[in-house]
Amino acid sequence: MQKQERQNPPITVGLASVMMDKPTEPKIVSDALSSAGWIAKALSSSGYHANFSLKSLKEIDRFFDEQAPGGNPKLGGFLSQDLGPRIFALGAYVGEVIRRRTKGEWLGDDSDPDAEINLALRPKANDMIWPVRRVMKRFKNGAEDGVYAYGFMIAPPKFYRFGILRWLWLRTAALKRFVRRDGGSTISS
């Protein structure tokens, strides 16, 4: 009797089975990412520096100052047509700048009838922000709701975070020079 070798069929792993680890993102999130990329190109071609840096949020404020003074789109300007999609794209851009700085995540619900407005960003574990809503406020209220200050407070530059600590340390060291060890001041009155 001849021994038959049993061969196992080859195992194939498709891309779909590998990608199952992470559930698919909501369509509103992919729309936000593509809109952010689109608006960055449109802004750059119009003379605004839109490179997804924190400093580029100053350019978004400048854009609103020039294109929507007083909360009204300038006639013939970029916001005079398709206002809703363009505000959404600007909000997605602002959110994407913050997301990249904080390594946060977008949260959206495709079943929400106001998904574009309620698109949220979680920059840190227990925080939640709504960048599209902020851009809507910037459009309506003007510079008092600036997006640069918004981004700066949520995701400040590293040098700034360390700069405050350094400033406090230097300030404390300078004060120590004027205070004697026994608690009295070396400054005469």
pLDDT of 177 reads: 53
CA contacts within 13 A on the Cβ side of 30? 5
pLDDT of 158 reads: 72
Whole-structure pTM value: 0.73
Our measurement of the distance from residue 13's CA atom to the centroid of its chain's CA atoms, rounded to an integer in Å, reads: 36
Give the span between the Cα atoms of 100 and 173, in whole angstroms. Answer: 36
pLDDT of 12 reads: 44
pLDDT of 21 reads: 46
pLDDT of 65 reads: 96
Largest alpha-carbon pair distance within the chain?
Answer: 114
Give the span between the Cα atoms of 73 and 118, in whole angstroms. Answer: 23
pLDDT of 183 reads: 52
pLDDT of 86 reads: 97
Give the span between the Cα atoms of 83 and 92, in whole angstroms. Answer: 14
pLDDT of 19 reads: 44
106, containing H or E segment: strand 105-107
AA letter at 151? G
Q: How many residues does the chain have?
A: 189
Exposure string (b/e) for 21-32, b if CB count within 10 Å is 16 or more? Answer: eeeeebebbebb
pLDDT of 17 reads: 40
107 forms bridges with which residues in the sheet?
A: 120
Kindly give the parts of the chain with pLDDT less than 50.
Answer: 9-21, 180, 185, 188-189
Question: Beta strands of 141-186 (E only): which ranges?
Answer: none
Instruction: For residue 107, report the phi and psi dihedrals to the nearest 5 degrees.
Output: -130, 125
Q: Which of 122, 118, 91 is nearest to 105 (CA)?
A: 122
pLDDT of 185 reads: 47
Rg, the chain, Cα only: 26
pLDDT of 11 reads: 46
pLDDT of 68 reads: 95
